[in-house]
Homo-oligomer: A and B are copies of this chain.
Amino acid sequence: MSFDRLIEKIVKLQNPTVVGLDPKLDYVPSYIKEKKFKKYGKTFKGAAKAILEFNKGIIDEICDIVPAIKPQAAYYEMYGWEGVKTLCKTIDYAKSKGMYVITDGKRNDIGATMEAYATAHLGLTDVDGEMLEAFGADALTVNGYLGTDGIAPLLEQCRAHDKGIFVLVKTSNKSSGELQDKLLGDKEVYAVMGDMCEKWGSEAMGKLGYSSVGAVVGATYPQQLEQMRAALPNTFFLVPGYGAQGGGAEGVAKAFDKNGLGAIVNSSRAVMCAYQKEGCDERDFAKAARREVIRMKEDIISYLPKISLGE
């Protein structure tokens, strides 16, 4: 139940970060692409196979350092159903290496349809009596614009299968304020959404102080991170926007509680493209990713209290 499994991994590795696997084909080293295109042509199959090899290479090198990955569904859907197959296989592979997997899909819909998404990403699908796992992530990002009945089916899956969700509260992008910062009476839209997370989570609490209902709060808005951390004591945060998008470790520290817990910080491009930034041999892409996740971990924990489960 809840994010306890994730929190335990964070404490064990002393690392509250997650690697976003958002693999544009441009990020994949040429030698991998050439090999796959030679075998499968310049097709979605070729692209999807290249991305899978790239992802596995990175997972192999980071799984003893980083507790979780966050594949972004959009970058797989770009390559059609073959790309989505690579998403499935990436999730399976990361889990086989002991990693926690957050599928970043920002799914949302009315209750009946949300049931289907919840089943797809967190649950088991009934195929005439056979219960099969479609995507099998540990957590899913979702959008709460539709209110409680769009969230309730997810909570059922969270309870049944020990999973979690992260609801968009304050996103990391520039125009996030157009709606999210507007005032509803004396509260911003994002703060109202935050309150809804806390309420939804109250029925799905874990043992370590956080519920199954987390919130997405961008690293690019440290003031809001601090405000939300204070307002939402039982809501675990997923914090995108560190690094490439401009969020710094000092600001990000505001997302954490006094035990150095309560949040996980994402980095995508800086890890996947570390070899390009370093200018090292492209065959060294996974080792470069490893160097970057170590650098990121050190950067972030340098601003935090010692990470522990508390008393």
Q: How far is the CA of A128 from the CA of B34 in the complex (A)?
A: 10
Q: Among the interface residues A85, A134, A180, which one has the most CB atoms of the partner chain B within 10 A?
A: A134
Among B121, B173, B196, which residue has its beta carbon within 8 angstroms of that of A77?
Answer: B121
Q: Which of B46, B79, B114, B148 contacts A125 (CB 8 A)?
A: B79
The reply to whether A180 and B109 contact each other, CB–CB distance below 8 Å, is: no
Check if A147 sits within 8 Å of B128, measured CB to CB.
no
Give A47-99 interface residues, CB cut-off 8 Å to B: 47, 72, 74-75, 77-81, 83-85, 87-88
A184 lies within 8 A of chain B by Cβ: yes
Closest chain B CB from A22 CB (angstroms)? 7
On whether the beta carbons of A116 and B75 are closer than 8 Å, the reply is yes
> Which of B78, B128, B196 contacts A25, CB < 8 Å?
B128
- CB distance B113 to A72 under 8 Å? yes
Question: How far is the CB of A153 from the nearest CB of chain B, in Å?
Answer: 10
Within A129-168, the residues touching B (CB, 8 Å) are: 129-130, 132, 134-135, 143-150, 168
Q: Determine the residue in chain B with the shortest Cβ distance to A193.
A: B179
Q: Which B residues are CB-close (under 8 A) to A135?
A: 77, 80
| Among candidates B22, B113, B128, B183, residue contacting A184 with C-beta atoms closer than 8 Å | B183
A145 in contact with B145 (CB, 8 Å): yes
> How near does chain B come to A263, taking the closest CB pair, in angstroms?
19
Query: Is A134 within 8 A of B173, CB to CB?
Result: no
Docked Cα-Cα span, A98 to B47, in Å, equals 30
Q: Is the pair B150, A175 in contact by a Cβ cutoff of 8 Å?
A: yes
From B80, B110, B116, B128, A134 is in contact (CB under 8 Å) with B80
Task: Indicate whether A279 reaches chain B with its CB closer than 8 angstroms.
Answer: no
| Contact of A176 with B147 at beta-carbon distance under 8 Å, contacts A78-B119, A113-B74, A134-B80 already known | yes
17 interchain pairs, CB-CB under 8 A = A33-B128, A44-B132, A74-B114, A74-B116, A78-B116, A79-B125, A80-B88, A81-B85, A83-B134, A111-B173, A143-B145, A145-B145, A146-B176, A147-B177, A147-B180, A182-B184, A184-B184
Chain A residues with a Cβ under 8 A of chain B:
22, 24-25, 33, 37, 42-44, 46-47, 72, 74-75, 77-81, 83-85, 87-88, 106-111, 113-114, 116-117, 119-121, 125-130, 132, 134-135, 143-150, 168, 171-180, 182-185, 189, 192-193, 196, 240
Additional A-B contacts beyond A106-B143, A146-B180 (18; CB < 8 A): A22-B113, A33-B128, A47-B125, A72-B109, A72-B113, A72-B116, A75-B116, A77-B121, A80-B134, A81-B81, A81-B84, A81-B88, A106-B107, A106-B108, A108-B168, A110-B171, A146-B175, A147-B173
